[in-house]
Amino acid sequence: MAALLEMKEIEKSFNGSPVLKKVDFSVEPGEVHALMGENGAGKSTLIKILTGIYPKDGGQIYWNGNPVTVDNRKDAASLGIGVIYQELSLIPTLTVMQNVMLGKEQSKLGFVNAKKMKQKVTELIEKYGFAVKADEVVETLTIAQRQTVEILKALSEESKLIIMDEPTASLSAKESDALFDIIEQLRKDGVSVIYISHRLEEVYRLSDRLTVLRDGETEAVLTKEQINPADVVRLMIGKELSEATASNSLRKSDAPVRLKVDGLTKKGVFHNIGFEIHEGEIVGFAGLVGAGRTEVMRCIYGADPYDAGTVEFEGKPLSKQITKNIGIGFGFVPEDRRNQGFTPLLSIEKNVALTNYDTLAKNGFVKAAAEKKLGVDMVERLAIKPGDSQIPVGNLSGGNQQKAVLAKWLSRDLKLLIIDEPTAGIDIGAKDEIYKILEKLAENGTSVIMVSSDLQELLRVSQRIIVMRKGEVFTEFSSGRITQEDVLMAESGILTKEGEADE
Amino acid sequence: MRQENMRRLISVASLVVLALVFGFTSSGFFTATNILSILRECAITGIIAIGVSFVIITAGIDLSTGAAVGFVSMLCANFLYYYALPAELIMLISILAGTLCGVLNGFIVTKLRVPEFIATLSTQYLFRSMVFVFAIRESGVITNKKITDPGILIMGGSINGIYLVTITFFALAIVGQLILKKTKLGTYIYATGSNRKSADLSGINTDKVRWTVFIITGFLCGIAAIFEIGRIGSATTDLGTGLEFEVIAAVVIGGCAFSGGRGDIFGTAVGAIFMAVLQNGILKYNLPTAAQLIIKGVVIVIMIVFDSVYNQYMQKRIQQKSNQDTQMAGGEA
Amino acid sequence: MNKKMDIKTIFGKSQRLWILVAVMLVLTVLQPGVFLTAANMKSILLSISVYGIMVCGTIFPILLGGIDLSVGAVAAAAGAFTVTWIVDHGFTNGAVVVGVLGGLLLGAIVGVVHGVIVTRFAVPPFLITLATQNIVYGVAQLLTENNVIACMEPASFAFLGGGRLLEIPFSIWIMFFMAILSYIILNKTVFGRNVYAVGGNAEACRLSGVRSRMVIILSYVASGLTAALSGIVLASMNRQAIAKAAQGYDNYVLTALVVGGASLMGGEGSILGAVWGAFLVGVISNGLRLVGVASDYHGIVKCIVIVAAVALDAHVRYKKSGLQKSSSLFRKKEKA
């Protein structure tokens, strides 16, 4: 029996640097095939080629043994490839039925046959035992329910292959279980699933086969019997890399406590979070997407409200107002750089100055010379390229944009910097520079909280690593030799080393 | 209760409250004649509001409707005066001209990518200007000429006391509601306004949808113009001034959200009646026109602010509910 | 360096500057000895001075990505207040001072209401300013009791809109003064910096500790204040107050701003551009009149000018966003 899908020697490079180097990948009918790899391994690119979002540079895709071309989403859909997107693509104010049938309504003279469509959708729902009703409005559903609507959408198109990209990222344990049951059903029904996830336990439980990608190459294809978490992690990271990036520098700090968080809770988002940050310490926050790290940091900073718990800064309760917190030495570099980090139309100088008008202005008037000097100084100090403080930040490369965002805070007397995904989408050279900046800050007594999904980065920069999982602090690494495997396993809820839980 | 029904209930409730207030504080409000006249007054606003509801549900806006009605009315008056065309032809021209206004708006919005409100604001200037271009002049001075064609004047009349315009409004409202709820176009209108990106991904040509709703609005402006000149019996240069705002207010009070994807023609009809009741009731107090304007304006502002607050509140509640459900489900983790 | 930037901000939208130059050139050729004369230029400046003053404040909400459509009504109401106060209080200079301050206060109050409703209740700016327009217009009617109220005295009031200083009408001086004031606020103060920043990315500003809400409210106050001032100048110029005084001024203002390079998406635009825009609108109106196009057609021209300017802007933006797409593609590669 021929494979349902076969991708052979797929190649892709962006701006000359190869991302996929002759990758082979195949899916059998009715199998759940997990696709794993570190960030940057090429998973998303491979899927985007399969669904026609990116054109491939080389290689061939076969469907049921026949060579096919997939130039756009429509091609993919007509073959029978459905995708469940991470950012759900439903219409919130329409009903489940309308969403499932959107763009392919059964109609006569423009009038839709709601009865027939409802019947069809209800049949599908009953067949798989989904916990939604056809005439519920999507915006009133939980995220898990919305996901099942997405799956319904794919099923209604008679998809033979459904791609799920981190589907459990924002689901609770129970909801995840329900999803696994659905996947089980799909398998029985002969529908294949490509399951992309960082969550080892899920992959372990679900998949018939597993393909590991590393640095744009197929590292291994494992069958169900061969899958065991430790091996998979090792394959994902690679032995040499694992050794080379292990951290020996984890340590506890004796310096006074600067930030103390206790019992911090936001309903449905995170629960009973507690930790301490000392002066001059860099603490990394590890966790999978949806673990609640970003949300915790935003609440501490004052950007979002929280429901319960206390935050103390140098022994005093912390204000919930951003402006006040900046006044006592907070800095915040958000995850979503483009939408929250900077004002794209404004120059580097003006962006940097934005947080500094307490010193750059007198009686409301800007001291233009000082403002300009700060811009020039920062461009020089952080080696922002091109070296002109008058260039709009929107025109810079990702790395330089991030430096510009950092520059907002560096001229201040910073006591605590919260930095979320400091190097996402940044090239290696700029990464190193940013690490050096963070290390220098810590040397000068600034405490740094670094949320990151990049394991190498966490191990390289952090003095302690706090691992969050499903809205709670799972464990903390603060001594001994820690490898990427250890962190990755902890993120999935498996403790390899005795981590010291908080208190 | 579903949010849609809840919002409808609020619209109806505010209408009832307003009517009761006027009923008890002024005389002659709850009489058959007055109610019929309210239903007449709401009809022009209501007819146009059907189209503007479509536009607002797609998350757009149309500020040109008042000027479009003014322009089309003047065009008809002009053709009647200078060419004495038959009434049927005038009606056809009216509808055609109105539709063309909509085509132009849709073109500027979808093809030139000009944001809706600035596009329709500038066509408002254009249509207003066209009013003067087509104004009837005697030795260079704009003159207001009476329309004598009985075929046009009859459009301002009534059958058994119920005005033709009222009947037309209710008929069009029902058609509008059917389009929204029972046709593909209706579903696409909601989809476009609620999440344009997703709608595009589902293979819906959202630009076509947006253009279509502008054309429908223009078409309805053409129909409204016929009734307007039929009732007044002439076309003045300031005909339709400020009408666009009445229309938008009716739509908002009826529960269409500016963020798109929400509301229906039932609500809009209630909103149109609300506006007419407001106007009619205030008149009964015998206040100076300035005070009437202010009271009316304040009521509308309150309704607009309420609508916005309500939408935010609902959004928050939905969010919270979905979060809590997730947490409850996760309690056993 | 700074100077270069300022020149860049004007010339960066050079197509618009060239439109002005081209229009003036054509008119000069078409109407030799009539168009390009000191007298005609002065008359253009005089004709734009009222909405030229408005533009200096209305640009604030525009820079935030908002809009103020109530400026015409506010101008009428402020003018009406000032005139009725002066008339009721015996045409004294003291009455002029109080009347003018009262008119300005009225504008400021309307601005506060707009700002608060926009920030607290998230009502779209165009909707709320359209709605309050009717109320403010009602106030103007209430003040004038729907009559034309003449006010020829005292000289100090008549001077505002009708006087001359160094041979140049005083209203033009006021316009230039407001333009300079506006320039200083936008370019030299923290508030001005914050206006641009909030207009460009409100969330990033919030996370940087900018009190965005205050910035927005003050911007609407600025708009209300200049609208009121222009209304007072207009009343003085006409020596009368009438509720319909400034009807349609909102569209002059908007045309001037859009033509002057302000983006309705916020974050982009300069006061110099806005004054250029006002001047261009004045030149076009003047030119159309000189060439003999009836004023009936001016709305058509305005429509074409606005649509052309915004469509061009949208086109440039679209092309740019195409480039952004490829750059985000590049980003994804590293993240993938």
Question: Do residues B131 and B71 make contact, with C-beta atoms less than 8 angstroms apart?
Answer: yes
CA separation, residue C116 to residues B314, C109, C212, C220 (Å): 21, 11, 12, 9
Sequence-distant (≥ 6) Cβ neighbours of residue A117 within 8 angstroms = A97, A101, A105, A106
pLDDT score recorded for residue C11: 44
**In angstroms, rounded to a whole number, what is the distance separating the alpha carbons of residues A374 and A409?**
12
Kindly report the nearest CA distance between residue C142 and chain B, in angstroms. 5
Q: Considering only CB atoms, which chain B residues are within 8 Å of A93?
A: 190, 193-194, 261-262
Among A residues 288-317, those touching chain C with beta carbons less than 8 Å apart: 301, 303
Confidence label for C320 from pLDDT (cuts 50, 70 and 90): low
Q: Which of A226-240, B41-55, C5-19, C141-155 has the lowest mean pLDDT?
A: C5-19
- Is B312 in the C-facing interface, judged by CB distances under 8 Å? yes
Burial of A17 (0-12, 13-18, 19+ CB in 10 A): exposed
Q: Which tens digits make up the pLDDT trace of C44-87? A: 888 888 888 999 999 999 988 888 889 989 999 998 898 888 88
pLDDT of residue A337: 83
Minimal-distance CA residue of chain B relative to A74: B203
| Residue of C243, A178, C203 lying closest to B329 (CA atoms) | A178
- Return the exposure string of C172-187: e unless at least 16 CB atoms fall within 10 Å of the residue's CB, then b: bebbbebbeebbebbb
ipTM rounded to 2 decimals = 0.81
Query: Does the pLDDT of residue A501 top 50, yes or no?
Result: no
pLDDT confidence of C322, banded at 50, 70, 90? very low
Q: Does B252 touch chain C (CB under 8 A)?
A: yes
DSSP per residue, B22-85:
HHHHSTTSSSHHHHHHHHHHHHHHHHHHHHHHHHHHTT-----HHHHHHHHHHHHHHHHHHH--
**Closest partner residue to B297 among C134, C243, C298, by Cβ?**
C134
Please identify which residue in the block is written with the tokens 């009434």: B87
Confidence of residue A499 (pLDDT cuts 50, 70, 90): very low
List of chain B residues whose C-beta atoms are within 8 Å of the C-beta of residue A173: 329-330, 332-333
Indicate whether C332 pLDDT > 60: no
Give yes or no for a contact between C258 and C310, defined as CB atoms under 8 angstroms apart.
yes
B263 to chain C, closest Cα gap in Å: 17
Given a cut of 80, whether residue A56 has pLDDT beyond it is yes
Handedness of CA C153, C154, C155, C158 (dihedral sign): negative
Q: Which of C142, C299, C314 sits opposite B114 (nearest CB)?
A: C314
B279 touches chain C (CB under 8 A): no
Contact with chain C for residue A372, Cβ under 8 A? yes
Whole-number Å distance between alpha carbons of A352 and A372: 10
- Kindly report the number of other CB atoms within 10 A of residue B115's CB atom: 16
Q: Which tens digits make up the pLDDT trace of A483-495?
A: 887 888 888 777 7
Q: Is a pLDDT exceeding 70 seen at residue C324?
A: no
Q: Which residues of C touch B293 (CB under 8 A)?
A: 134-135, 137-138, 141
Per residue in A146-198, pLDDT tens? 888 888 888 888 888 888 888 877 777 777 888 888 888 888 888 899 988 87
CA distance A473 to C257: 53
pLDDT value at residue C9: 47
Mark yes or no for CB contact B330/A73 under 8 Å: no
The reported pLDDT for the residue numbered A1 is 52
CB spacing of C138 vs B304 below 8 angstroms: no
Closest CA to B260 of B300, B218, B206: B206
- Assess contact for C76 and C140: CB atoms under 8 A: yes
Q: How many CB atoms lie within 10 A of CB A142?
A: 24
Specify the residue for token string 């309903």.
A267
Beta-carbon contacts of B267 under 8 Å, excluding residues fewer than 6 positions away, are: B7, B8, B11, B53, B254, B255, B256
Reply yes or no on whether the pLDDT at B67 is more than 80: yes
pLDDT at C327 (0 to 100): 30
Comparing C13-22, C131-140, C223-232, the range with the smallest average pLDDT is: C13-22
What is the predicted pLDDT for the residue at B99?
A: 95
Give the pLDDT band (50/70/90) at residue A496: low
Instruction: Give the mean model confidence (pLDDT) for residues B25-38.
Output: 84
Give pLDDT, residue B268. Answer: 93
- Per CB-CB distance under 8 Å, the chain B contacts of A112 are 182-184, 187
Position of tokens 């409202």? B173
CA gap A126, A132 in Å, rounded: 9
Cβ–Cβ gap A93/B327 under 8 Å = no
Closest residue of chain C to B122, computed from CA coordinates? C303
Place of tokens 């001047």: C279
Give per-residue pLDDT as tens, C174-189: 888 999 999 999 888 8
The CA distance from A206 to A203, in Å, is 5
- Bridge partners (DSSP) of residue A66 are A63
The domain total for chain C is 1
Residue predicted with more confidence, C6 or A117: A117
DSSP string, C152-200: ---HHHHHHHH-EETTEEHHHHHHHHHHHHHHHHHHHBHHHHHHHHHHH
Q: Do B308 and C122 touch (CB under 8 A)?
A: yes
Q: How far is B305 from chain C (nearest CA, A)?
A: 6
pLDDT at A503 over 50: no
Q: Does C193 touch chain A (CB under 8 A)?
A: yes
With CB atoms and an 8 Å threshold, state whether A43 touches C336.
yes
Q: What is the mean pLDDT of residues B28-36?
A: 85
* Structure confidence at residue A223 as a pLDDT band (50, 70, 90): confident
Per-residue confidence (pLDDT) for residue B57, from 0 to 100: 94
B287-292 average pLDDT score: 83
Length of chain A: 503
The model's pTM is 0.84
The structural domains of chain A, with segments of one domain joined by +, span: 5-243, 244-329+414-503, 339-412
Compute the distance between CA of residue A354 and CA of residue C197 in angstroms, rounded to an integer. 8
Give me the amino acid identity at A483: T
**Are C52 and C175 in contact, with CB atoms under 8 Å apart?**
yes
Residue C4 predicted with pLDDT over 50: no
Mean pLDDT, chain B, whole residue set: 87
Q: Rounded CA gap, C150 and C138, in Å?
A: 19
What's the rounded Cα separation, in Å, for the pair A282 and B144? 80
Q: How far is A384 from chain C (nearest CA, A)?
A: 18
In this prediction, residue B71 has a pLDDT band, given cuts at 50, 70 and 90, of very high
| Residue B216: per-residue pLDDT | 96
Minimum Cα–Cα distance from A388: chain C residue: C1
pLDDT at C15: 57
**CB nearest to B333's CB, from A89, A90, A173:** A173
Cβ contacts of A196 within 8 Å, gap of 6 or more: A34, A35, A36, A43, A44, A47, A163, A164, A165, A166
Task: Give the pLDDT band (50/70/90) at residue C319.
Answer: low
Q: Which residues pair with C170 in a beta bridge?
A: none
Contacts of B321 in chain A (CB under 8 A): 140
d(CA C63, CA C265): 8
Q: Which residues of C touch B125 (CB under 8 A)?
A: 251, 299-300, 302-303, 306
CATH topology of domain A244-329+414-503: Rossmann fold (3.40.50)
Of A141, A172, A269, the CB nearest to B333: A172
B34: tokens are 């007055």
Compute CA A87 distance to the chain's CA centroid, rounded to the nearest angstrom.
11
Determine phi and psi for A132, rounding to 5 degrees.
Answer: -135, 160
Strands A282-286 and A447-451: parallel
The residue among A499, A498, A489 whose CA lies nearest residue A237 is A489
Say if B313 is an interface residue toward chain C (CB within 8 Å): no
Report residue A401 as tokens: 């944009």
Which of A391-405, B152-166, C98-112, C278-292 tops mean pLDDT? C98-112
What is the length of chain B? Answer: 333
User: Which domains does chain B show, CATH number per domain?
Assistant: 3-23+36-314 (1.10.3470)
**Residue among C236, C250, C280, C248 at smallest CA distance from C62:** C250
Residue type for position A4 = L
β-bridge partners, A108 = A111
Least confident of B102-111, B244-253, C281-290: C281-290
Instruction: Tell me the residues of chain B between 244 and 283 that have a Cβ less than 8 Å away from chain A.
Output: 261-262
- C-alpha–C-alpha distance, residues B274 and B177, integer Å: 18
Backbone angles phi, psi at A468, to 5 degrees: -105, 150
Task: Count helices and strands (H / E) in chain A.
Answer: 18, 24
For residue A197, the one-letter residue type is S
In this chain, the answer to whether the domains covering A5-243 and A244-329+414-503 adopt an identical fold is yes
- Superfamily classification of domain A5-243: P-loop containing nucleotide triphosphate hydrolases (3.40.50.300)
Partner C contacted by A42 (CB < 8 A)? yes
Q: Is A99 helix (H, G, I), strand (E, B) or coil?
A: helix
E strands, A279-424, in order: 282-286, 308-313, 316-317, 330-333, 361-362, 365-366, 416-420
**Residue A250 confidence (pLDDT):** 79
SS3 A185: helix
Amino acid C163: pLDDT? 75
Is residue C106 included in any domain, yes or no? yes
Helix (H, G, I), strand (E, B), or coil: what is residue C288?
helix
Three-state DSSP at A452 gives coil
* Residues pairing with A337 in the sheet: none
Cα C112 to Cα C213: distance, rounded to the nearest angstrom = 11
Mutate to test the interface with B, among C58, C68, C134, C137 (most CBs of B within 10 A): C134
User: How many inter-chain contacts (A to C, CB under 8 Å) are there?
Assistant: 112
Q: At residue C108, what are phi and psi to the nearest 5 degrees?
A: -65, -40
Residue of C nearest to A54 (CA): C329
Q: Could you tell me if A232 and A214 are in contact, meaning their C-beta atoms sit under 8 angstroms apart? A: no
**What's residue C329's pLDDT?**
29
Amino acid at B82: Y
Q: Provide, as residue numbers in chain C, all residues whose Cβ is less than 8 Å from the Cβ of B119.
A: 307, 310
- Confidence class for position B150, pLDDT limits 50, 70, 90: confident
- A5 backbone φψ class: left, alpha, beta (φ>0; ψ -120 to 50): beta
CA distances from A201 to A207, A323, A491, B118 (A): 10, 42, 10, 54
Cβ neighbours of A114 in B, within 8 Å = 182
For residue A114, give the chain B residue with the closest CA. B182
**Confidence at residue A213, expressed as pLDDT on a 0 to 100 scale:** 85
Structure tokens at A129: 């035992």
In sequence order, the β-bridge partners of residue C149 are C241
State residue A420 phi and psi, 5-degree precision.
-105, 120
Task: Name the residue among A17, A339, A355 with its Cβ closest to that of C208.
Answer: A355
Q: Name chain B's partners: 3 or more CB pairs within 8 A.
A: A, C
**What pLDDT score does B326 carry?**
58
Average pLDDT rounded to a whole number, residues A381-400? 82
Residues A263-298: tens digit of each pLDDT: 888 887 888 888 888 888 989 898 887 788 888 889
How many Å apart are CA B170 and CA B178, to the nearest integer? 12
Measured between beta carbons, the chain C residues lying within 8 angstroms of B290 are 138-142, 145-146, 243
Indicate if the alpha-carbon torsion angle B125, B130, B133, B136 is positive or negative: negative
Range of the domain at C9: 2-315
Q: Does B1 touch chain A (CB under 8 A)?
A: no
Backbone angles phi, psi at A264, to 5 degrees: -65, 125
